[in-house]
Chain A
Amino acid sequence: MAYQGVAGLFPFAVAAWLFVCGLYGVVVSRNLIQMVGCLAVLQSSTYVLLAAVGYVPDGSAPVFLEVVHGPVVDPVVQALMLTDVVVEATVAALLLALAVQVHTHAHTLRPDRLTRMRG
């Protein structure tokens, strides 16, 4: 039984918990590079949410030869997740490059020391 009942709510609760957890990590982090790791947890919460939305109970993967026998999982949501995983990893790498450049010019990685913008 998906989408309702306590068991059906569990994947969405997992996604919500990962989101809040990642957000907490970003807020209290004292190191810019560690903050990017917490951002990766934030990103993973959206993947869990998408996986839970598209799942059909006892559904098989959307790879089959001709005729559908029985329930099949939604393919559109999987196409979204597929491109998302690779692209968000490159965006996280871009953020790491930004953190390295911040350290080059400000000599610190602590967010609360980076309060003033310098030319």
Chain B
Amino acid sequence: MSLLRHAILLLAVLSGTGVVATRDPVAQAVTLSFHGLVLSTLFFLHAAPDVALSQVVVGAVVLPLMFLLALAKVRRQRVTRPQGRR
């Protein structure tokens, strides 16, 4: 079990670095979702099932969805105001 714990901690490092390294916000929503799933597994392996339950929905579904909705609103504003700067 300890080996699994260390492995998931290493995976959390990699996915967190991946989120920061992703420059495009649309792609970052996907890496953020993966990071949320890795965190949820981390909580489960640290004997915290309650936290894993809330993290799995929030980190993998709600937060990336808010990201994509915000990006959709921004993109729509860019299209309807073609004279604006990019």
Contact = CB atoms under 8 A, between A and B. Distances in A.
- Direct A–B contact present (CB less than 8 angstroms): yes
Given A85-B51, A86-B58, 11 more contacts: A11-B9, A40-B32, A45-B16, A78-B51, A81-B51, A82-B51, A89-B58, A96-B66, A99-B70, A100-B70, A109-B74
B74 A18 contact: no
5 contacts: A37-B29, A40-B35, A41-B35, A92-B66, A97-B70
A49 B36 CA distance: 16
Interface residues of A, number: 52
Nearest to A52: B46
- Tell me if B's interface is mostly helix, strand, loop or mixed: helix
A46 to B, nearest CB: 11
B47 interface: yes
Contacts of B25: 31, 33-34, 37
Contact of B81 (A14, A47, A86, A107): A107
Contacts of B46: 51-52, 54-55, 73
| In the A-B complex, the 8 residue pairs with the closest CB atoms | A25-B20, A107-B84, A96-B70, A73-B47, A61-B47, A51-B46, A37-B28, A89-B58
